[in-house]
């Protein structure tokens, strides 16, 4: 019983972290068609910023870090990406890889490679059905899921979100209806970056923060996006859940390497079977029947 509860709690906390990552990665991919291979580095930046500004109390610091993250996103998009879209996904992928190198090496040059640590603002544990679980982990998971939830609400319930989805659906038509695509694109990239930075900042007390810490987050986040049908906006969150369950289970019962090997094998199988990701949408009930010979005033 207790082991089951702690397993579920691990899945829950990992899901919170991954969903924040995958959501950010997913909107950048879905919206811009950019394979953001620097996503892990943005996470790392978030963690290091928390470390660097240790003088400021935790929660205000978090806010500052997220704002800096958004700024980083705007700068990256305007400076590096904006003229590359036309050259195709390979160019943007490589450019983002370059951004990743710069961030990684920049952190290495500034902070060195010894793991840095960030103090958690909340200590103590909470008793969950007989399992003593660190309170901070639960709090940040709730925050992460709340942020993702707000993000989805914003996307699906607000005017701005409607415009963003419209741009995803059909960029040309959106601009014909007066929605400026460049603004939406920069905004979306910055938001995706902001999510990654926030994830890193929240997670920082649990990490030994090193310049290379981000890279290892990229693969699971990508896995989540691939599972959730790339291009869909809420799909990655479902993907994050699958990845969180799989990796927690595998890591609990197997050693790290075997777990990673199996995950990799599963990834390959998934891509082989479903190159375009899993479609997990509700089945569509109202499929219009193929009406013969009535449309377009067909010849008699």
Partner 1 sequence: MRFLKPVTNWRRRVERRHAIALVSAVLVLAVVPFLLPAYPLALLTLALAYGLFAFGLDLGWGRAGVISIGHAAFFGIGAYGAAIAVNTGMPIAIGVAAALALSALVALGIGRVGLGGRALASTMAVLTLALTLLAEQIARSWLDVTNGSNGLFVPSPGVVDNYYRTAIVALVVVTAVWYVALRGPLGRRLLAVRVNEQRTEHLGVDPHRTKTKVFVLSALVATVAGSAAAPVIGLVSPATAGIVMSTQVLVWLAVGGRGTIIGAFLGAGIVTIGQEYLGEAIGSWYLLVMGVAFILVVRFAPGGLVGLATKLRSSPLARSAAQDALIVSDRTDADIASGRSAAAAGGSNFDRFRQDEEMSIRNPIDLDPAALSLQDVTKSFGAVPVVRGVTLNIPAGQIVCLIGPNGAGKTTLLNLVAGDLPVSSGQIRIRDREVTSSSAHERASLGLGRLFQIPSIYQELTPAQNMAMARAEAFQLVDLPEELERFANNSDVLTQDLPLADQRALELAMSIAWGPEIVLLDEPAAGLSHEDSVRLAQTLRIVNRQLGCTLVIVEHDMDIVRQLADRVVVLADGMVLVDGDMDEVSAHADVRNAYLGAV
Partner 2 sequence: MLELTKLSAGYNKTRVVDDVSLTIHRGEVTALLGRNGVGKTTLLRTIFGLCQIHAGSISVDGNPLPVGKPEALARRGMTYMPDDRGVFPSMTVRENLQLARRRGYEPPVDVYSLFPLLTERANQPAGQLSGGQKQQVGIARAILAGEKMIAIDEFSQGLQPSLAHAALQTLRAVAATGTAVVFVEQGPALPLEYADRVIAMLKGRIVLDETTSALREQQGPLMDLLVVG
Alpha-carbon distances of 20 from 141, 181, 191, 290, rounded to whole Å: 10, 24, 11, 41
Whichever of 57 and 178 has its CB closer to partner 2, that residue is 178
DSSP label at 254? S
131-133-135-136 Cα dihedral, nearest 10 degrees: -160
The verdict on 169 binding partner 2 (CB under 8 A) reads yes
Q: Look at phi and psi of residue 175 and say left if phi exceeds 0, alpha if psi is from -120 to 50, else beta.
A: alpha
| Of the candidate residues 55, 124, 130, 178, the single one contacting partner 2 (CB under 8 A) | 178
Round to whole Å and give the CA distance between 221 and 77. Answer: 20
141 phi/psi in degrees, rounded to 5: -65, -45
Round to whole Å and give the CA distance between 160 and 151. Answer: 11
Round to whole Å and give the CA distance between 194 and 210. Answer: 20
The verdict on 262 binding partner 2 (CB under 8 A) reads no
Tokens 């950048």 belong to residue: 28
Whichever of 170 and 216 has its CB closer to partner 2, that residue is 170
3-class SS letters over 85-119: HHHCHHHHHHHHHHHHHHHHHHHHHHHCCCCECCC
Q: Could you say which residues in the range 18-77 bind partner 1, by CB under 8 A?
A: 29, 35, 37
Q: In the complex, what is the shortest distance from the CB of residue 88 to partner 2, in angstroms, rounded to a whole number?
A: 16
DSSP label at 36? -
Q: In the complex, what is the shortest distance from the CB of residue 6 to partner 1, in angstroms, rounded to a whole number?
A: 24
Q: Could you say which residues in the range 179-238 bind partner 1, by CB under 8 A?
A: 212, 215-216, 218-219, 222-223, 226, 230
Q: In the complex, what is the shortest distance from the CB of residue 6 to partner 2, in angstroms, rounded to a whole number?
A: 39
- Total residues contacting partner 1 (rule CB under 8 A)? 59
Structure tokens at 299: 């010849």
Q: Could you say which residues in the range 111-140 bind partner 1, by CB under 8 A?
A: 112
Secondary structure class of 208 (helix, strand, coil)? coil
Q: In the complex, what is the shortest distance from the CB of residue 187 to partner 2, in angstroms, rounded to a whole number?
A: 14
Tokens 């709090």 belong to residue: 139
Secondary structure class of 233 (helix, strand, coil)? coil
- Sole window of 3-11, 171-179, 191-199, 286-294 interacting with partner 1 (rule: CB under 8 A): 286-294
Q: In the complex, what is the shortest distance from the CB of residue 129 to partner 2, in angstroms, rounded to a whole number?
A: 40
The verdict on 282 binding partner 2 (CB under 8 A) reads no
Q: In the complex, what is the shortest distance from the CB of residue 12 to partner 1, in angstroms, rounded to a whole number?
A: 25
**Which residues are near partner 2 by CB under 8 A?**
162-163, 165-166, 168-170, 172-181, 284, 286-288, 291, 295-297
Q: Which positions lie near partner 1, rule CB under 8 A?
A: 29, 35, 37, 80, 83-84, 87, 89-91, 93-95, 97-102, 104-106, 108-109, 112, 212, 215-216, 218-219, 222-223, 226, 230, 255-257, 260-261, 263-264, 267-268, 271-272, 275-276, 287-290, 292-293, 295-300
């Amino acid at each position: 019983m207790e082991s089951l509860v702690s397993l579920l709690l691990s899945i829950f906390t990992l899901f919170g972290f991954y969903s924040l990552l995958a959501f950010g990665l997913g909107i950048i991919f879905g919206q811009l068609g950019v394979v953001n291979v620097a996503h892990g580095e943005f996470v790392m930046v978030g963690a290091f910023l928390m470390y660097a500004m240790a003088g400021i109390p935790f929660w205000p610091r978090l806010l500052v870090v997220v704002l800096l993250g958004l700024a980083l996103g705007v700068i990256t998009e305007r400076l590096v990406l904006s003229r590359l879209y036309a050259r195709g996904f390979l160019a943007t992928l490589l450019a983002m890889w370059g951004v990743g190198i710069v961030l990684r090496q920049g952190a290495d040059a500034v902070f060195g490679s010894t793991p840095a640590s960030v103090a958690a603002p909340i200590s103590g544990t909470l008793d969950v059905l007989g399992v003593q679980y660190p309170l901070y982990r639960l709090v940040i998971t709730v925050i992460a899921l709340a942020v993702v939830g707000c993000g989805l609400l914003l996307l699906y319930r607000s005017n701005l979100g409607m415009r963003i989805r419209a741009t995803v659906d059909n960029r040309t038509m959106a601009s014909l209806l007066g929605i400026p695509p460049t603004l939406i694109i920069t905004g979306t990239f910055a938001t995706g970056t902001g999510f990654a930075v926030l994830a890193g900042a929240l997670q920082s007390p649990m990490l030994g923060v090193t310049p290379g810490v981000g890279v290892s987050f990229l693969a699971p986040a990508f896995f989540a996006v691939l599972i959730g049908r790339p291009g869909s906006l809420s799909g990655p969150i479902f993907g994050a859940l699958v990845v969180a369950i799989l990796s927690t289970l595998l890591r609990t019962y197997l050693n790290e390497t075997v777990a990673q090997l199996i995950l990799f094998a599963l990834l390959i199988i998934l891509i082989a079977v479903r190159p375009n990701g899993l479609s997990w949408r509700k089945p569509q009930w109202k499929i219009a029947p193929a009406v013969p010979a009535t449309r377009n005033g067909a010849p008699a």
